[in-house]
Amino acid sequence: MTTVIANNVTIDFPIYGTGHRSLRHTLFARTGGLIRHEPAGRHRQQRVVVRALDNVSFTLTSGDRLGLIGHNGAGKSTLLRVLAGVYTPDSGSIRVDGRVSPLFNSVPGLDPDDSGYENIKTCGMFLGMGFDEINRKLQDIVDFCELGEYLELPVRTYSTGMVTRLGFAIATSIDPDILLLDEGIAAGDARFAARAEGRMQALIQRTRILVLASHSDALITSMCNRAMLLEKGHIVEIGPIDEVIKRYHQRPVEASVA
């Protein structure tokens, strides 16, 4: 069974050399979270520690579509990266049962000097696909991105829109158990975006668990069935989307760093 179980997950980011008051203020504005000062020890200089996640606990099972809500610095992206295995908790534990596909970048592993075909294979491997799976999905990716003979050319010769279309076609070809999205991924021009919406919905439907971090109420409402409000690294509320969004907008912006 596909599950995600977080138990009192805490993430600390130690920041060294922050004795100057204005620098500490800058760090606070950039990272959010709770800040504490640790005195210098015998073998350690004084440092500032930013607590990006603070005793975060929740459970997700098949069918859950969780939207992460909160101001900048609330801990949304940090939580996604914990789920992806990028960060290891300083305390607490995270258990993830299932194939995880993080889409924080629509073109992971892209090499501008390689051809489109070569990048389909490289990016596919970055997304966790094997050679057999990539080969099975190759024609679907080619047909969807509509780049034709350009796929034989180096990606550095592509326009920005062409790179976006290629990346989107690759990224949405995966079959994850657990899909992690940070603000969604770009889909290109208006005509392509219309086709891309259906493809993204199909991806979400074949995903057992979705975790989406976004500032868009509309995106959270359309893609998720639960929401979590984070503030300075801790959970304020988790539950029905409408209730969580309402509480989010009722809280002062100063409660978390914008």
Q: What is the pLDDT of residue 257?
A: 38
Residue with tokens 């796929």: 151
CATH of domain 103-207: 3.40.50.300
Reading the block at residue 177, the tokens are 């158990």
The residue extents of the domains of the chain are: 3-98+215-255, 103-207
Residue with tokens 């098949």: 62
Residue with tokens 């999205």: 181
With a CB cutoff of 8 Å and minimum separation 6, the contacts of 53 are: 9, 10, 11, 33, 75, 78, 79, 82, 89, 233, 234
Per-residue pLDDT of the chain (258 residues; tens, 9 = 90+): 899 999 999 999 887 655 555 555 545 444 556 666 555 555 555 668 888 999 999 999 999 999 999 998 899 999 999 999 999 999 999 999 999 988 886 677 889 999 999 999 999 998 889 999 999 999 999 999 999 999 999 999 999 889 989 988 998 999 999 999 987 666 666 777 788 888 888 998 999 999 999 999 998 999 999 999 999 999 999 999 999 999 999 987 654 433
Superfamily, domain 3-98+215-255: P-loop containing nucleotide triphosphate hydrolases (3.40.50.300)
CB 51 within 8 A of CB 233: yes
